[in-house]
């Protein structure tokens, strides 16, 4: 499965990194980084991240 973040919407609030710290984190400049591939085991966390994003910038693509 894949995570896609619309970086022109993202405002670096970091709610995603609270919900799914293994998949979203901040680089040293305080900008969002994320791992785009993930397995279904982490779907709950990643969906929580998607829901919690104040800008609704995250989409999850099921390409399995």
Partner 1 sequence: MSKLGTPVKLDIASEEFRMNSKEVREARDAHWYAETDWGIAVLSYEDNTHLLHSPYMGQGSAKWPRQHGVSSGQFHEWWSQNLLVLEGDDHHRIRRLVNPAFSRRKVRAMEPKFEELARELIGSWIHRGEVDFASEFASPYATRILCMMLGIDESDWHHIQELASTIGLGLGVHVGDHIASIDAAVNELTVYAEGLITEREAAPTDDLLGTLLGANREDDRSLSRQELVNIVILLIFAGIDTTRHQLSLSIDSFQKQPDQWDKLARHPYHYAERAVEEALRVNPIGRWVTREATESFQHRERWIEEGTTVHLYTLTGGTDPAEFNNPCDIDLDAERSPHFAFGGGVHHCLGHFVARTDIGVALAALAGRITNVRVGADTDWLPDSGNTGASYMPITFERRNSVE
Q: Residue numbers of the site for partner 1 (CB under 8 A)?
A: 11-15, 18-19, 30, 48, 51-52, 54-56
Round to whole Å and give the CA distance between 10 and 54: 9
Q: Exposed, middle or buried, 60 (CB in 10 Å: 0-12/13-18/19+)? A: middle
Q: Which of 1, 15, 43, 45 forms a contact with ligand SF4 (CB under 6 A)? A: 15
- 14 touching ligand SF4, by CB under 6 A: yes
Q: Does 16 bind ligand SF4 (CB under 6 A)?
A: yes
Question: Minimum Å distance from CB 7 to ligand SF4?
Answer: 8
Contact 52, 19 (CB under 8 A): yes
């Amino acid at each position: 499965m894949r995570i896609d973040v619309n970086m022109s919407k993202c405002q670096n609030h970091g709610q995603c990194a609270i919900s799914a710290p293994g998949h979203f984190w901040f680089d040293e400049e305080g900008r969002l980084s994320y791992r785009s591939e993930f397995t279904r085991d982490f779907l709950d966390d990643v969906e929580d991240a998607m829901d919690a994003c104040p800008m609704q910038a995250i989409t999850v693509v099921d390409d399995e």
